């Protein structure tokens, strides 16, 4: 258990990547940052891209695959995604592993489950990943609740969920009308309130406090403090005690270990724990 940790290396339209480490090996969820940024982040933990057992790709949008083509040159590990996602990825021939919706895939010590989501991509999914008795579920880029994901969220030690926008900020913000309606649609992105009410419904039966990382925040239509407050409030209506932390958009976020005490939920971004990564 003490060798388990999770860290976001970027979360949002500028690039998404999250590392789940267990027992000296790791999986990467999305490769939206450059290989150099990934190498730098792994090296801080004494790891290299060769220590990855798998690269999981949620969908083919650039902010999730930007670094993949170059990154594949530095590791031989399989690329995991749904059939539709893999068909849209570069240079994965011979090393792609199809994750059927809701089916568990075993790679090394990892149990990997793709959870289909509604988003304007070919066949997008979130992932629930477990190893060494610890489960982390990552759901970003979805316009509405994913029916299959609820039980995985409830069973997770760390929940990473999109809180993309504040609905009122999006409505009154500078985006053109077609973009506003795409983001707010069922194939767009979850608002703070949608994320909070969903988590409240999933976790409301349990009074135990839960750590939630809020992911993929919009720079224009959200603020870390607004997201934390809205998700906490929306979830508390169902009796859930959430301890949300908003992930930094362009920087590595905090390192979570299962033995860490829960945050109070008052600090939107734990700045003292974030570190700068090169962006190119």
Looking at residues 139 to 168 of the shown chain, list those that interact with Zn ion (rule: CB under 5 A): 141
Question: Does residue 30 belong to the site contacting Zn ion (CB under 5 A)?
Answer: no
DSSP code string of 63-112: HHHTTHHHHTTS----EEE-HHHHTTSSS-TTTEEE--BT-EEEETTEEE
In whole angstroms, the minimum distance from the beta carbon of 185 to Zn ion comes to: 13
User: 11 or 128, CB closer to Zn ion?
Assistant: 11
Nearest to Zn ion of 124, 200 (CB atom): 124
From 21, 25, 61, 250, residue interacting with Zn ion (rule: CB under 5 A): 61
| Nearest distance, CB of residue 226 and Zn ion, angstroms | 19
- Which of 189, 135, 179 is CA-nearest to residue 11? 189
User: CB 63 → Zn ion: shortest distance, Å?
Assistant: 4
Query: In 10 A of CB 206, how many CB atoms?
Result: 12
> How far is Cα 178 from Cα 181, in angstroms, rounded to an integer?
5
From the list 38-46, 135-143, 169-177, 220-228, the region that binds Zn ion by CB under 5 A is 135-143
Stretch that binds Zn ion, among 57-65, 163-171, 242-250, 262-270 (CB under 5 A): 57-65
- Least CB distance to Zn ion at residue 189 (A): 8
Report in angstroms how near the CB of residue 162 gets to Zn ion at its nearest: 8
Q: Which of 30, 53, 60, 63 binds Zn ion (CB under 5 A)?
A: 63
Query: Which residues lie near Zn ion (CB under 5 A)?
Result: 61, 63, 141
């Amino acid at each position: 258990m003490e060798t388990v940790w999770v860290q976001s290396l970027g979360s949002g339209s500028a690039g998404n990547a999250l590392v789940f480490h267990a027992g000296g090996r790791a999986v990467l969820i999305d490769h939206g940052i450059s290989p150099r940024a990934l190498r730098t982040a792994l090296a801080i933990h004494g790891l290299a891209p060769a220590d990855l057992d798998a690269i999981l790709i949620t969908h083919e949008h650039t902010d999730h695959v930007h670094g993949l083509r170059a990154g594949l040159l530095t590791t031989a590990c399989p690329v995991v995604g749904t059939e539709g996602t893999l068909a849209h990825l570069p240079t994965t021939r011979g090393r792609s592993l199809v994750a059927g919706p809701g089916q568990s895939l075993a790679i090394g010590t990892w149990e990997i489950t793709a959870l289909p989501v509604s988003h304007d991509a070919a066949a997008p999914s979130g992932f629930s990943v477990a190893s060494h008795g610890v489960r982390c579920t990552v759901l970003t880029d979805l316009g509405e609740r994913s029916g299959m994901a609820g039980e995985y969220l409830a069973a997770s030690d760390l929940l990473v969920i999109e809180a993309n926008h504040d609905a009122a900020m999006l409505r009154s913000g500078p985006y053109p009308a077609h973009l506003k309606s795409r983001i707010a649609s069922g194939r767009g992105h979850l608002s703070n309130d949608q994320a909070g009410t969903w988590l409240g419904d999933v976790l409301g039966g349990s009074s135990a406090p839960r750590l939630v990382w809020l992911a993929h925040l919009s720079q224009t239509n959200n603020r870390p403090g607004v997201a934390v407050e809205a998700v906490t409030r929306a979830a508390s209506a169902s009796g859930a005690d959430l301890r949300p932390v908003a992930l930094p958009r362009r920087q590595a976020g905090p390192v979570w270990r299962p033995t860490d005490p829960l945050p109070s939920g008052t600090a939107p971004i734990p700045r003292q724990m974030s570190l700068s990564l090169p962006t190119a």
